[in-house]
A and B are shown apart, each in its own frame.
Chain A
Amino acid sequence: MASLKDLRNRIASVKSTQKITKAMKMVAASKLKRAQEAAESARPYAERMDKVMGALGQSVANLPGASPLLVGNGQNRTYLVVVATSERGLCGGFNTNIVRAAKRRIDALLAEGKDVKILCVGRKGRAQLQRFYGTRILDTVDMGGTRYVGFSDAARIAERVRVMFDEGVFDVAVLFYARFQSALTQIATEQQLIPVPLPDADQADGLLDAGGDAIYEYEPNEEAILDDLLPRNVSVQVYRALLENAASEQGARMTAMDAATRNAGDLIDRLTIQYNRTRQAVITKELIEIISGAEAL
């Protein structure tokens, strides 16, 4: 049986852990709010981009000489898997879920005889993937220095992916991230980056819903506009994924830290009961000793 002093120390240490997890939960909650706001304010641009892409893509996709970013380079031998995870741990199953989804896909691709290359965004995903696919990891984008994801961060990653595509490093790029649903649920999601997937035809309307039948003039022309938009679209997709990821990470951390705080509370309760019982037992024992000592006289 643990001594009183041991128990006291144990309780003190669990209490300080609880203080930390509680503080982390608060921090995550406020960061989550900020991340959600960022995701919210990024929406107008992405929505408009989608609409224009939809409208233009439909008419251009079938033309010969359409951009490889849109129709692919005619092959699908080599896949680039971009895995976006967090820089820090202590966020529950967040990173594991993304990595697991990516891993499932990678294994399926490998089983089909495809070649797979991996680009990690964030330190945590790399640590987990390295064990299985050490040599397939091309590089890791370190997001450690960025406190809040900006569009320029996403653009840098997208630029890199595009340059690799132009150099023929891969044929198809997919991106893994966690879609934010609520603080409790984040869904590991796969998104195709290159070739750029076109939004559904039924959304293919003008930016401001000008009533469908408005005939546009294009300057310089539809293909040139699309060629200009496609690289931007890749950046926007990456940006959106990073924002979702940031919100998901904070949500997951908040939930994990909340659970940890509650566990610590339970543990403290149990230890306190044990401490009190032990204390009473010690007192009783001392009394018995004194009484039996007195009786012996």
Chain B
Amino acid sequence: MAEQIHFELVSPERLLMDVEAAHVIVPGSEGEFGVLPGHAPFMSTLRPGMISVFEDESQPPKKLFLKGGFVEVNAKGIVVLAEDSIDLDTVDAAQLDQDIKNATEDLELAKDALALQRAEAKLAWMGPLRDIIRQA
């Protein structure tokens, strides 16, 4: 068996994934990067994007969309702290387009800082998610 790295995906509400992986591709804020067993200690913030977990190199990876978060890699493994993750199969493209439109309108109509921040936060992850779905 090939060398494996311990991978955890943690959301505030629960531990989402806790597996041994052969290879993980993480959407770092400065670009995607792959983590293999024996990676150097590393911390990075994440941008909204896809995380791919290869439990076995020969199998297709498990993919999840992350709205952003934080990753730490060290000798023991890799831990991703993500606020929210979305399974791509559950996304309705038409609904997403509508949500983006609504959020854009909210952004224009925002009366106070709170509403503005909420709309911005929504757009920050909805945009990349749409791009990914269009590519697929």
Contact = CB atoms under 8 A, between A and B. Distances in A.
Interface of A: 38, 41-42, 44-46, 48-49, 52, 150-151, 154-155, 159-160, 163, 166-167, 206-211, 214-220, 224-225, 228-229, 232, 235-236, 239
The 9 closest A-B pairs by CB, nearest first: A208-B76, A41-B14, A210-B74, A219-B44, A151-B12, A214-B41, A228-B45, A216-B41, A45-B10
Contacts of B79: 48, 207-208
A159 B112 CA distance: 13
Interface of B: 6, 8, 10-15, 28-30, 40-45, 70, 72, 74-77, 79, 81, 83-84, 113-114, 117-118, 121
A214 to B, nearest CB: 4
Contacts of B74: 206-208, 210, 214, 216
Given A44-B10, A46-B12, A217-B42, A210 B75 contact: yes
B45 A151 contact: no
Nearest to A56: B43
A235 B84 CA distance: 13
A32 B72 CA distance: 34
A220 B30 contact: yes
Contacts of A206: 41, 72, 74
A141 to B, nearest CB: 12
Given A166-B113, A207-B72, 15 more contacts: A38-B13, A42-B12, A44-B14, A151-B11, A151-B84, A159-B118, A159-B121, A160-B114, A163-B113, A207-B76, A208-B76, A208-B79, A214-B75, A219-B43, A220-B30
Nearest to A239: B12
Contacts of B8: 44
Nearest to B14: A41
A239 B84 CA distance: 14
A45 B12 contact: yes
Nearest to B31: A219
A40 to B, nearest CB: 9
A228 B41 CA distance: 19
Contact of B40 (A154, A208, A217, A239): A217
B12 A52 contact: no
B44 A225 contact: yes
Contact of A41 (B15, B70, B75): B15
Nearest to A149: B13
Nearest to B74: A210
A41 B12 CA distance: 8
Contacts of B76: 207-210
B40 to A, nearest CB: 6
Contacts of A42: 12-14
A236 B113 contact: no
Nearest to B80: A48
A224 B44 CA distance: 9
Nearest to A235: B12
A64 B90 CA distance: 45
A159 B13 CA distance: 18
Contacts of B43: 52, 216-219, 225
Given A160-B114, A163-B114, A220 B29 contact: yes
A220 B12 contact: no
Contacts of B113: 163, 166-167
6 contacts: A151-B13, A210-B41, A215-B41, A217-B43, A220-B30, A225-B70
A45 B81 contact: yes
Contacts of B14: 41-42, 44
A225 B29 CA distance: 10
B15 A159 contact: no
A47 to B, nearest CB: 9
Nearest to A227: B45
Given A46-B12, A151-B83, A208 B45 contact: no
Given A207-B72, A220-B30, A48 B44 contact: no
